[in-house]
């Protein structure tokens, strides 16, 4: 899986395209700090890959110019993403961000949904953390 990733952070279109192939159901940019401007383009440095009954947390490492698997969690009961997400937040040292806050910030920063809309409809966006 890591061999198929570029030796750089992903563009949003590349992250979206990963779920077009076999085996990956959803690719979710995982941390707000993991979305950065590189060479004038928005790049994703942290992702969660949702597969049949597994969630994998990946982080791009600048020094190694490559990706590393931070966590692989069984998601048969639908709760594996929580452990994978929390492992990634801990790995990156994002002590001041919890999973729900990270999801809200991703939605506003990467997908361009105004923060006011997210904050005025928290139940709709909190439901994302229940999937």
Alpha-carbon distance of 44 to 38, in angstroms, equals 9
Q: Which two tokens stand for residue 21?
A: 């192939």
Q: Under a CB-based contact definition with an 8 Å cutoff, are residues 30 and 105 in contact?
A: no
Alpha-carbon distance of 118 to 124, in angstroms, equals 8
Alpha-carbon distance of 53 to 107, in angstroms, equals 24
b/e sequence 37-66, b meaning 16+ C-beta within 10 Å? eeeeeebbbbbbbbbeebbbbbbbeeeeee
Q: Which two tokens stand for residue 114?
A: 């105004």
Give tens-digit pLDDT for 47-83. 999 998 899 999 999 999 999 999 999 988 878 888 9
What are the boundaries of each domain within the chain? 2-97
pTM (two decimals): 0.76
pLDDT higher than threshold 60 for residue 129: no
């Amino acid at each position: 899986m890591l061999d198929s990733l570029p030796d750089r952070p992903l563009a949003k279109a590349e992250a979206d395209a990963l779920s077009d192939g076999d085996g990956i159901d959803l690719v979710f940019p995982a941390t707000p700090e993991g979305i950065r401007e590189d060479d004038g383009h928005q790049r994703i440095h942290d992702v969660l890959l949702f597969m049949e009954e597994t969630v994998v947390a990946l982080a791009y490492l600048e020094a190694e110019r490559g990706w590393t698997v931070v966590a692989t969690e069984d998601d048969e009961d639908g709760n594996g993403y929580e452990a994978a997400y929390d492992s990634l937040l801990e790995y990156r040292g994002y002590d001041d961000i919890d999973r729900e806050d990270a999801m809200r910030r991703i939605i506003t920063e990467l997908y361009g949904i105004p923060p006011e809309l997210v904050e005025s409809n928290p139940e709709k966006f909190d439901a994302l953390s229940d999937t």
